[in-house]
Amino acid sequence: MTTSTTLNTTYQDIFKTENGKTYLSALPKLEKITSGQSFLYRQNGAPSMVIDIRLTNDIDAAYLQQSVYKSLQRYPYLTSQLVEKDANYYLSKNDRPLIVAETDQLRALGSDEVNQHLIDVTFSEKTIFIAYHHAIADGRGIMPFVETLLYYYLGYKSNTWPEIEHINLSDDTMSEDEMLEPLENLESQPISETNKMPDLNHRGYQLLETKGQDATKSSYRYEIVLDQESFMTYAKKHNATPAIAVAIIMAQAIQKAYPDFELPIVAHMASDLRLGVTNQNTSRNCVGSIALPVNQPIVDDEDFTAVATEFRNLIKQSKQISNLRANVNQMANLFEKLDSLPTIEAKQQMLSFFENILLNTFIISYSGQTKLGELEQYIDEMHTYMSGTNGLSIEMLAINGGISVDILQSFESDVYVKDFTDILAANNIDFKINDTVLFEVPNDKLSR
């Protein structure tokens, strides 16, 4: 692993590298988007997913631009644009550069403003915003690019180049299966009765604030940053992972606000399906979810540990290959049906239920721990979010001794956040909470 610190990389240089040549040679068989189709046929476009990185010093535009180009030399497939043909979307080489901009307004992906790119990098004062389209990547797929970009940017800025084992650099060899669709060449796999997931009541308690609510593009964001040490001490004591612990604390908060819940409080936890697909190193969208129901009041440590242990067992069962493959096959069948429809309008109609879907009681996703060694000292906070999700959802990221918990709501009320933070305080978990943000990320501007 070597580090080049020169500042003369251009966009076209990306395609002259070995990785760039691999990407271009593979592009003809990569073209058609399959796994991300549910984000392509939204009538008004799909909102960007945003990674919001708050540094300790003002952003240097030249260093950031170079960091983007250096990173794309390792991930050239993220330069692709989408072209619509016969109601299908195909990846195509994009000859127009990806140019960073100083602005506090996010730009629409796929638009001329971003040269039709499906990722965008902007900055304002001390904050870097990385927006990406879920049609081409999920959180696990985009985070290696984010880590590489931060490594280069913070390296240029501090003139410090530590060796960090898992960080991919510009001249590290890309594997072709990173670019491949996850659903290719699936073989049917029968599900044995012993491995079947238990029947769960997926009818979750509906938050009162969401009843009768119309669709909205904007969301309210409540940013909580947990002290990782005190939080993990609590989580481990209760046999909980970070995501399980946050899910149970939110369930407690809902129970505290409305103790007379007649249905289970269900946490829909994002689940990586890669072990059930052919191309397990894919960066493409490969996410399902598992419903984790809370059926009883959680009033003490014993209750908390019991629910955490049950959640662990359900997640373990969901990760058995047969259960993963069952979920993947459901996705494949949906996309096969979608492919049979002749027009964009027909596909939009089929997927219209995604436009304002409400998953009761809430959604939770954890993008994991970002590790940048001594460079983490230059990162204050890191958040991830999108707007327009109906109901309540939680996005989590960990870096530099903190775990960001972004609570996103389609309604204005801090009742759950207040109860959530009261529970943190009662259990000696240190945290900080930022000002509430009413926000809206732009929908894509793909040709339709």
Three-state DSSP at 178 gives helix
Predicted confidence (pLDDT) at residue 365 exceeds the cutoff of 50:
yes
pLDDT at 215: 72
Domains of the chain as residue ranges with CATH? 12-173 (3.30.559.10), 200-439 (3.30.559.30)
Q: Please compute the mean of the pLDDT values over residues 126-135 and round it to a whole number.
A: 98
The residues pairing with 399 across neighbouring beta strands, listed in sequence order, are: 402
> How many Å apart are CA 380 and CA 183, to the nearest integer?
38
Q: Closest Cα partner for 250 from 431, 426, 417, 437?
A: 417
pLDDT of amino acid 187: 60
Full DSSP string of 402-424 = EEEEEEEESS---HHHHHHHHHH
- In whole angstroms, what is the distance from residue 193 CA to residue 188 CA? 16
Nearest Cα neighbor of 251 from 416, 47, 106 is 416
- Asked if residues 412 and 220 have their Cβ atoms less than 8 Å apart, the reply is yes
Residue with the larger pLDDT of the pair 188 and 258: 258
**CA pair distance 24, 10, nearest whole angstrom:** 17
Q: What is the mean pLDDT of residues 227-253?
A: 99
Query: Using one digit for the tens of pLDDT, what is the confidence trace for 254-281?
Result: 999 999 888 999 999 999 999 999 889 9
Contact in structure between 224 and 417 (CB atoms under 8 Å):
yes
pLDDT confidence band for 193 (50 / 70 / 90): very low
Lowest pLDDT segment from 135-144, 196-205, 328-337, 364-373: 196-205
| Segment holding 295, helix H or strand E | none
Q: What are the structure tokens assigned to 37, written together?
A: 């189709």
Q: What residues form DSSP beta bridges with 392?
A: 409
The reported pLDDT for the residue numbered 202 is 62
Dump pLDDT digits (tens) for 326-363: 899 989 999 999 999 999 999 999 998 887 789 999 99
Give mean pLDDT, residues 272-301: 94
Report the percentage of the chain scoring pLDDT > 70: 95
Phi, psi of 15 (to 5 degrees): -85, -5
pTM of this structure: 0.94
Instruction: Order across the sheet with 49-55: list the strands.
Output: 101-102, 119-124, 127-132, 49-55, 379-385
Residue 191 pLDDT > 80: no
Joined tokens for residue 387: 């707007």
* pLDDT tens per residue across span 416-440: 999 999 999 999 999 999 999 999 9
Closest among 90, 119, 122, 84 to 106, alpha carbons compared: 122
